[in-house]
Amino acid sequence: MLKLRQAAVVLALLSASAQAAPDAKPDLKTISEQSGFIKTGRYDEVIRLCQDFAARWPEAVRCEEFGRTPEGRPMMLMVVSRSGALTPQAAAAKHVPVMLIQGGIHAGEIDGKDAGFLALRDALEGKTDKGMLDRQVLLFVPVFNVDGHERFGPWQRPNQVGPAEMGWRTTAQNYNLNRDYMKADTPEMQAMLQLINTWDPLLAADLHVTDGAKFQHDVSITVEPVYSGDQALRAAGLALRSDVNRQLSKKGSLPLAFYPAFVVDDDPSSGFADSVPPPRFSNGYFVQRNRFGVLVETHSWKDYKTRVRITRNTIDALLAQMAEHGQDWLKLTAAADQRAIQLSGTVPLSWKVSDKIRTIDFLGYAYTRTPSDVSGALMTRYDDRKKQVWHLPMRDDPQPLYSVVAPGSGYIVPAAQADWLKQKFALHNIVYRRFDEEQAPGPVQVFRATAVRYAKESFENRTAVEFDGEWKPETRGVPAGSLFVPIHQPNARLVMGLLEPGAPDSFAAWGFFNIAFEQKEYMEAYVAEDVARDLLAKDPALAAEFKRKLTEDAAFAASPAARLNFFAQRSPSRDERLNLYPVMRVD
Strand boundaries in 372-406, DSSP class E: 378-395, 398-405
On the question of pLDDT at 200 being above 50, the answer is yes
What pLDDT is stored for residue 574 in this prediction?
84
Dist CA 293 CA 205 (whole Å): 6
Provide the percentage of residues in the chain whose pLDDT is more than 70: 96
Dist CA 361 CA 359 (whole Å): 7
Across 16-30, 144-158, 468-482, 531-545, least confident range: 16-30
| Stronger pLDDT, 545 or 14, i.e. the higher one | 545
Calculate mean pLDDT across residues 471-489. 98
The helices-and-strands tally (H runs, E runs) of the chain is 16, 19
On the question of pLDDT at 16 being above 80, the answer is no
What DSSP element (H or E) covers 293?
A: strand 292-298
Give the DSSP letter string of 38-89: S----HHHHHHHHHHHHHH-TTTEEEEEEEE-TT--EEEEEEE-SSS--SHH
Dist CA 438 CA 446 (whole Å): 18
Read off the amino acid at residue 302.
K
On the question of pLDDT at 278 being above 90, the answer is yes
Tens digits of residue pLDDT in 350-400: 999 999 999 999 999 999 999 999 999 999 999 999 999 999 999 999 999
